[in-house]
Amino acid sequence: MPGKTLPVNPKLAGVPDVEIGGTGVFKYILCKIYEGANTTDFKYIVRGAPSAEFHADIYDVLDAQLESEGIMCECVGGGKIEHDPDAKTIRIFGKSQGYGRANHEVSMQILRDKFPAYHSVMWTND
CB within 8 Å of 28: residues ≥ 6 apart: 20, 46, 47, 48, 49, 55, 58, 78, 79, 80, 81, 92, 102, 107
Q: Point out the residues that are catalytic.
A: 55
